Amino acid sequence: MRSITVLSGGHGGAKFIEGLLHGLRAGVLPGISSAESDAGADGAGAPEGVTVTVVANTADDLWIHGLKVCPDLDTVMYTLGRGLDHDRGWGRTDETWSVKEDLEAYGAPNTWFGLGDRDIATHLVRTQMLEAGFTLSQVTEALCRRWLSPVYGDQVRLVPMSDDRIETHVAVKDDSSPSGLATVHFQEYWVRLRAAVPAEQLVFVGLESATPAPGVIEAIAGADLVILPPSNPVVSVGTILGVPGVRDALAATAAPVVGISPIIGGHHVRGMAEQMLASIGVDASAGAVGQHYGARSAGGIIDGWLVDSVDAASVTALEDAGLRAAAVPLWMTDADATAAIAAAAIGLVR
């Protein structure tokens, strides 16, 4: 196994990829020899001879305070580059908030979306490059020269799902509106409203007309393994799948495709997967999400689906639906535990 592609959202996906890379370096993943996994005496860097391409969701992106912010791209980049604030689960370590505090003092709008001072530097560089005519893929590659290249060289690559502008909007109840609904950007639903009201409908602006970013289809078609990590199946992995051509590439790839449930015991581990699943009529259960993705042998997109031990009762139904399925502990408590999850997922479809 030489090439792994991961279709990722933000925190859950980034944490899984971090554990996957730990498992590769430690030589504990099936199908990868210890020689291939040798990353050097200090344990840094990427496994020799193995490449990991991360295709990240960009439908959470937004323009705010005149800056282009890409939450999932940045969360993956900061996590793998060892600059993420793990206590918050987003943003930079050793962050300060002077700009946010002064914006609030001015009474500026949209201060509910907190940008730290160090984080703003990333968004300034991204915005300046985009306005100069560079694509989001080119900008992401440039940013990763700081964050990923010093650690992994050219063996870990982060790419956006599309260079086109795509935004997720959420319709919520609003009695003052003639339609009875009001639409807010996904980040406003998540950050300002804290996903505390039901999501009546999801609107993916620009998704149907988008094209995959350079390298996305190639990363799927040329992979030895494709992984769907425990990211939100609707607004993270789901939006990547919604980019025209991506689902077809998954159906056609010779690589096995395996997913890890973001639902444990009927609840999401982090985020708002339960609310998003309800908005599309899918039960918030590990088995239901696996069947929502569906077996490739029956027109779906995955070959295997890993659930937590507490959801072991769903394995039989998943197998009846054409999936290889297994139940193992899925709590990503540390790097070793997460590497064990990655090993189980790979072992399921080898």
CATH code for position 230: 3.40.50.10680
Report if residue 121 sits inside a domain. no
The 3-class secondary structure across 43-57, one letter per residue, is CCCCCCCCEEEEEEC
Residue type, 89: G
- State which residues form the domain around 16: 3-62+72-83+140-163+209-349
Report if residue 243 sits inside a domain. yes
The pLDDT, as a whole number, for residue 47 is 59
Q: Are residues 232 and 173 in the same domain?
A: no
The pLDDT, as a whole number, for residue 121 is 97
From 188, 205, 222, give the residue that closes a domain: 205
Closest CA to 343 of 4, 16, 23: 23
Report if residue 110 sits inside a domain. no
pLDDT, mean over the chain: 95
217-241 pLDDT per residue, tens: 999 999 999 999 999 999 999 999 9
Q: Are residues 156 and 246 in the same domain?
A: yes
Q: How many residues does the chain have?
A: 350
The pLDDT, as a whole number, for residue 33 is 56
Report if residue 343 sits inside a domain. yes
Q: Are residues 279 and 157 in the same domain?
A: yes
Q: Mean pLDDT throughout 90-94?
A: 94
> Residue 45 above 70 pLDDT?
no
Distance, CA of 303 to CA of 170 (rounded, Å)? 31
Q: Are residues 149 and 171 in the same domain?
A: no
Q: Are residues 152 and 199 in the same domain?
A: no
**Whether 233 contacts 13, CB under 8 Å:** no
Distance, CA of 337 to CA of 324 (rounded, Å)? 21
Contacting residues for 344 by C-beta, under 8 A, at least 6 apart: 306, 326, 328
152-198 pLDDT per residue, tens: 999 999 999 999 999 999 999 999 999 999 999 999 999 999 999 99
Q: Are residues 192 and 218 in the same domain?
A: no
**Whether 115 contacts 99, CB under 8 Å:** yes
The pLDDT, as a whole number, for residue 150 is 96
User: How many separate domains does the chain show?
Assistant: 2
Spatial strand order in the sheet of 156-160: 156-160, 51-56, 3-8, 225-228, 257-260, 304-307, 324-327
Q: Are residues 259 and 180 in the same domain?
A: no
Q: Are residues 188 and 283 in the same domain?
A: no
Report if residue 102 sits inside a domain. no
